[in-house]
Chains A and B, each alone.
Chain A
Amino acid sequence: MKGINFKIIISFLGLTSMLNGIFMLFAVPFSMYYGESEKWGILQAGLLTIFIGFALWFFNNNAKKNLGKKEGYLIVTLGWLMLSFTGTLPYVFTGTIPNYTNAFFETISGYSTTGSSILTDIEAMPKGILFWRSATHWIGGMGIIVLTVAILPLLGIGGMQLFMAEAPGPSADKMHPRITETAKRLWLIYFILTFVEFFLLKFAGMTWFDAINHAMATMSTGGFSTKNSSVAYYNNIPLIQYIITLFMFIAGANFVLTYFALKGKIQKVFKSEEFRYYFFGVIFFTLILSVIILNYRDLNLVTSIHHPEPWGRTESAFRHAAFQVVSVLTTTGFVSADFTMWSSIGTMLMFSLFFIGGSAGSTSGGVKIVRHIVMIKSSFYEFKKLLHPNAIIPVRYDNGSVPKTIIYNILSFFVLYMLIFIFSSILLTVFGLDFISAMGAAASSLGNIGPAVGTVSPVDNFAHLTIPAKWTCSFLMLIGRLELFTVLILLTPFFWKKC
């Protein structure tokens, strides 16, 4: 290997940046429609981003088209950093979030589909900026690198490296022999589902602006809402909450399965072991929490998010349990009710869901269900191996056995995940958070969830964090979205050594 091909990396970053700038321009019509003066700021931000991207691409256009593993990791990590820095421009240029740390936090929270906000009054924000906030979710959900691979057929071979580095889950499935076709299909499904959800939400009674924003935030499992009280704003319209629950569930499932389902091969969906655990897990936790809410609701807890009961008390308990379980499991982070008020058991159960995550190949974050399945199975077989030291016991998953290399990868991922969680919790207490809130903020940021516990509970926000705490959370969100290895590998000495 002749060193790292920086030219192709920079030219690729340029292309990504141009795409990002084009997305910014989409926010301009919204701003114009509502007659806001911020349209100029957004326009400037968009044009500047496109210009930066164009310059980077133009001067490195002659790059050799060879992309190795190292270039892949660098492109994805640097691409996401670049995205986050240029993504702050609309906030900064319009002066809506003047503090740069806050603007960066809000942007990375958007791209990483976390949904933690530092805004104290969301409804007061200009509509164009709110749209941009949701757009960052939508771009980051399926991944802008995957989008670049899909619409710019400039990479044949290296495309897979990029795809693997950005797509969530321990291994990336191809729906089509060609990577560009796979990427196209993913984005197409993503777009269609977003559009369908928008239509349904509008039909159920949202304004079209809120419907667009919520649809984008749902399908990307983001969690930015256009309302101060998030989806709890619609507590009087249960239909809206059910629609969002359904689409959060779809967004948290593997998109390859959604693709099969759309093609009419429903039986293939239930053949997937991960989907079965996901499906029944959601039902299981929903039922338990429904019971908890029903029994503890009358304790006269003072909570700013009340549970109105338009369709009766049982329905309300079920709906909020389902909504919150799906919201946290898929790492969306929409709020219909404050789960930290659901007694200690309820809160603890919800907090434990922070560490599970959605399915591989979805837009969700977290550890992912498939990793848990493999880890639990392989740990369980260890008992058997103690009794029969010479036995060969493959870890079976989806009618096949999981190779040892993948098991080691998953185990080290989990160890790393927990170490980072503990270490960053300590760091956050150093930066001024209390014990519970630090743990909550760390788990929530690392898992790209959004709301947490303590002073950053579903009804609070992250505005009161100190500046270093905000940067810590931003870093956690980035490495969480890119599944640790992609970012952390750049910090290892072997990455930069030639041998």
Chain B
Amino acid sequence: MKIIIAGAGDVGFHLAKLLSFESQDIYLIDMDSEKLEYASNHIDLITKKGDATSIKLLKEVNIDKADIFLAVTESQNTNFTVAVLAKKLGAKKTIARISNHEFIQGTDIDFAEIGIDFMISPGELAADEIKMLLNQSAFNDTIQFENGTLNILGSSLDYNSPLINLTIQEAREKFSEIEFITIAIKPENSGETIIPRGNTVYHANDQIYFSAPKESIKNLYKLMGKTQFGVKDVMILGGGKIGVKAARSLCDNKFNIKLIEIEKERAKEVAEKIPNALIIKGDGRNVELLEEENISEMDAFVAVTGNSETNIMSCLVAKSKGVKKTIALVENMDYINISQTIGIDTLLNKKLLAANVIFKHVRKGDVLKLANLHNVDAEVLEFRVKENSAVTKKLVKDINITKKAVFGGVIRNGVAHMTFGNFQILAGDKAVVFCLPEAIHKVEKLFN
């Protein structure tokens, strides 16, 4: 498949990387030759320097043969223009990254008609993500499938967890009444995610990923050594687009919101927009201010200012004051892997979120959902199992799924089933697979 990406920023780079793992033909366009050089040294693709809005340049990369055109530059207007041009020049499908979510919601305008097949707003995605994370307070990563029938949950293992020093096999036997599969472990202080085998041992402070049906979640808290706490009072730092969106939807869900914004004018604006929240004008880096506003009484602290370092530092302050749940928005992709080490529950990256949603669109349609986890470099895919695909021909234990991927359960007729060794996957099931990026291609083959 020929894919042209305009914009070699974080979203473009991350997308190119994901796509290159499955041997797509990728062209990357950007004005910045340094970014392009970096990309061509790290990803298997052809780069083209220049303005993506140039028709001549688009023709040079044979846009008429492109299957998908992704406009993901920083500028919404550029993305709009380029996507329209690309469509008119013959690209089959165009996807544009936007910042104004009005284009997606609450309008009757048919953008497909002018040439933009799909739009994506990273800010919107981040706000949704925050809401979901706060609902599953003990976990620092949550992905729901089919409205929560099956869940992928991530959490670090506390010292008092009964799992510690057991192997996967022992744990399964000991807690056979609880349905769950351990799909990935990231040991403390290690940048590497491992797919556990039967003899892998749980250690304290490991970041663990489970797949579990809805009914098991309560019991999992116990296994993790955590007590469940309801999140009620949330402090949000930063009244930007994401902060406001998150605050509004949390208010609608009966959370108590305290929002801190540094600029007076903006704070006033936000106060008008969200009448139910308490808006405070002040600097989030000021610890005294945070204390004055009872930070230690908060259940969760969400830092979504435009500055990654402010977000991280203020989350650390919140943590030290006893806030149980902290979420920080970061721009820098490289920080994602170190969230556990530095002690913040979840690091959100809106570009990564955007890249994954776009990635799903690039896929050929048999992928129902693709999500990435916040704290590890891995993907979770949901497939609709087709007739005669390789996975339906063998028992789970006999399927050669590579060492870099693992089944996380299937949903059959709205009921979640755990996929242990003797499970037979059938056509029509929705199967959830956890895999490291380089294994995506192989996993896909199993489902075709």
Q: Which residues of A contact B (CB under 8 A)?
A: 65, 153, 156-157, 159-161, 174, 176-179, 181, 403
Determine the chain A residues whose CB is within 8 A of the CB of B390 once the complex forms: none
Q: Which residues of B contact A (CB under 8 A)?
A: 20-21, 23, 25-27, 33, 40-46, 438
Determine the chain A residues whose CB is within 8 A of the CB of B21 once the complex forms: 156
Determine the chain B residues whose CB is within 8 A of the CB of A177 once the complex forms: 25-27, 44-46
Taking a contact as CB atoms under 8 Å apart, the answer to whether B44 and A160 are in contact is yes
Give the 4 A-B residue pairs with the shortest CB-CB distance, closest first. Answer: A177-B25, A177-B46, A156-B44, A177-B45
Most buried by A among B26, B40, B41: B41
Among residues of A, the one whose C-beta sits closest to the C-beta of B42 is A157
Determine the chain B residues whose CB is within 8 A of the CB of A174 once the complex forms: 46
Query: A65 vs B402: C-alpha distance in the bound complex, in angstroms?
Result: 14
Determine the chain A residues whose CB is within 8 A of the CB of B20 once the complex forms: 156-157
Determine the chain B residues whose CB is within 8 A of the CB of A179 once the complex forms: 44
Query: A83 vs B164: C-alpha distance in the bound complex, in angstroms?
Result: 51
Determine the chain A residues whose CB is within 8 A of the CB of B46 once the complex forms: 174, 176-177
Among residues of A, the one whose C-beta sits closest to the C-beta of B3 is A177
Query: A174 vs B21: C-alpha distance in the bound complex, in angstroms?
Result: 18
Supplied contacts A156-B21, A177-B26, 7 more A-B pairs, CB within 8 Å: A65-B438, A156-B23, A174-B46, A176-B46, A177-B25, A178-B25, A403-B33
Main secondary structure of the interface of A (DSSP, over half): loop
Given A65-B438, A174-B46, A177-B45: A160 in contact with B40 (beta carbons within 8 A): yes
Among residues of B, the one whose C-beta sits closest to the C-beta of A69 is B41
Among residues of B, the one whose C-beta sits closest to the C-beta of A2 is B191
Query: A269 vs B348: C-alpha distance in the bound complex, in angstroms?
Result: 50
Given A157-B44, A160-B40, A160-B44: A178 in contact with B23 (beta carbons within 8 A): yes
Determine the chain A residues whose CB is within 8 A of the CB of B27 once the complex forms: 177
Query: A65 vs B20: C-alpha distance in the bound complex, in angstroms?
Result: 15
Most buried by A among B21, B33, B46: B46
Query: A161 vs B42: C-alpha distance in the bound complex, in angstroms?
Result: 9
Given A65-B438, A156-B20, A157-B20: A176 in contact with B25 (beta carbons within 8 A): yes
Among residues of B, the one whose C-beta sits closest to the C-beta of A173 is B46
Determine the chain A residues whose CB is within 8 A of the CB of B44 once the complex forms: 156-157, 159-160, 177-179
Determine the chain A residues whose CB is within 8 A of the CB of B438 once the complex forms: 65
Query: A160 vs B37: C-alpha distance in the bound complex, in angstroms?
Result: 12
Query: How many whole Å from A376's CB to the nearest CB in chain B?
Result: 25
Query: A267 vs B45: C-alpha distance in the bound complex, in angstroms?
Result: 26
Determine the chain B residues whose CB is within 8 A of the CB of A181 once the complex forms: 25
Determine the chain B residues whose CB is within 8 A of the CB of A176 once the complex forms: 25, 46
Query: A403 vs B49: C-alpha distance in the bound complex, in angstroms?
Result: 13
Determine the chain B residues whose CB is within 8 A of the CB of A159 once the complex forms: 44
Among residues of B, the one whose C-beta sits closest to the C-beta of A405 is B37
Query: How many whole Å from A202's CB to the nearest CB in chain B?
Result: 39
A-B contacts, 27 of them at CB < 8 A, read A65-B438, A153-B23, A156-B20, A156-B21, A156-B23, A156-B44, A157-B42, A157-B43, A157-B44, A159-B44, A160-B40, A160-B41, A160-B44, A161-B41, A176-B25, A176-B46, A177-B25, A177-B26, A177-B44, A177-B45, A177-B46, A178-B23, A178-B25, A178-B44, A178-B45, A179-B44, A181-B25
Determine the chain B residues whose CB is within 8 A of the CB of A161 once the complex forms: 41
Determine the chain B residues whose CB is within 8 A of the CB of A65 once the complex forms: 438
Query: How many whole Å from A425's CB to the nearest CB in chain B?
Result: 37
Query: How many whole Å from A244's CB to the nearest CB in chain B?
Result: 35
Among residues of A, the one whose C-beta sits closest to the C-beta of B43 is A157
Query: How many whole Å from B427's CB to the nearest CB in chain A?
Result: 30
Query: How many whole Å from B351's CB to the nearest CB in chain A?
Result: 20
Query: A161 vs B44: C-alpha distance in the bound complex, in angstroms?
Result: 10
Most buried by A among B25, B40, B41, B44: B44
Determine the chain B residues whose CB is within 8 A of the CB of A160 once the complex forms: 40-41, 44
Determine the chain B residues whose CB is within 8 A of the CB of A156 once the complex forms: 20-21, 23, 44
Determine the chain A residues whose CB is within 8 A of the CB of B42 once the complex forms: 157
Query: A157 vs B23: C-alpha distance in the bound complex, in angstroms?
Result: 11
Most buried by B among A153, A160, A181: A160
Query: A176 vs B24: C-alpha distance in the bound complex, in angstroms?
Result: 11
Query: A181 vs B420: C-alpha distance in the bound complex, in angstroms?
Result: 39
Query: How many whole Å from A180's CB to the nearest CB in chain B?
Result: 8
Query: How many whole Å from A159's CB to the nearest CB in chain B?
Result: 7
Query: A238 vs B123: C-alpha distance in the bound complex, in angstroms?
Result: 74
Query: A403 vs B37: C-alpha distance in the bound complex, in angstroms?
Result: 12
Determine the chain A residues whose CB is within 8 A of the CB of B45 once the complex forms: 177-178
Query: A187 vs B261: C-alpha distance in the bound complex, in angstroms?
Result: 62
Most buried by A among B21, B40, B45, B438: B45
Most buried by B among A159, A178, A181: A178
Query: A159 vs B40: C-alpha distance in the bound complex, in angstroms?
Result: 11
Query: A159 vs B41: C-alpha distance in the bound complex, in angstroms?
Result: 10
Query: A174 vs B61: C-alpha distance in the bound complex, in angstroms?
Result: 13
Query: A153 vs B45: C-alpha distance in the bound complex, in angstroms?
Result: 15
Query: How many whole Å from A217's CB to the nearest CB in chain B?
Result: 33
Among residues of A, the one whose C-beta sits closest to the C-beta of B438 is A65
Query: How many whole Å from B197's CB to the nearest CB in chain A?
Result: 14
Determine the chain B residues whose CB is within 8 A of the CB of A157 once the complex forms: 20, 42-44
Query: A160 vs B43: C-alpha distance in the bound complex, in angstroms?
Result: 9
Query: A179 vs B44: C-alpha distance in the bound complex, in angstroms?
Result: 6
Query: A319 vs B245: C-alpha distance in the bound complex, in angstroms?
Result: 80
Determine the chain A residues whose CB is within 8 A of the CB of B26 once the complex forms: 177
Determine the chain A residues whose CB is within 8 A of the CB of B23 once the complex forms: 153, 156, 178
Among residues of A, the one whose C-beta sits closest to the C-beta of B27 is A177
Determine the chain A residues whose CB is within 8 A of the CB of B25 once the complex forms: 176-178, 181
Query: How many whole Å from A405's CB to the nearest CB in chain B?
Result: 9
Query: How many whole Å from B27's CB to the nearest CB in chain A?
Result: 6
Query: A153 vs B40: C-alpha distance in the bound complex, in angstroms?
Result: 18
Query: How many whole Å from A251's CB to the nearest CB in chain B?
Result: 25
Determine the chain A residues whose CB is within 8 A of the CB of B41 once the complex forms: 160-161
Among residues of A, the one whose C-beta sits closest to the C-beta of B45 is A177
Among residues of A, the one whose C-beta sits closest to the C-beta of B403 is A62
Query: A54 vs B271: C-alpha distance in the bound complex, in angstroms?
Result: 70
Query: A159 vs B20: C-alpha distance in the bound complex, in angstroms?
Result: 12
Query: How many whole Å from B270's CB to the nearest CB in chain A?
Result: 44
Determine the chain B residues whose CB is within 8 A of the CB of A153 once the complex forms: 23
Among residues of A, the one whose C-beta sits closest to the C-beta of B192 is A64
Query: How many whole Å from B283's CB to the nearest CB in chain A?
Result: 38
Among residues of B, the one whose C-beta sits closest to the C-beta of A64 is B192
Among residues of A, the one whose C-beta sits closest to the C-beta of B28 is A177
Most buried by B among A157, A160, A176, A181: A157
Query: How many whole Å from A175's CB to the nearest CB in chain B?
Result: 9
Query: How many whole Å from B280's CB to the nearest CB in chain A?
Result: 45
Query: A156 vs B41: C-alpha distance in the bound complex, in angstroms?
Result: 11
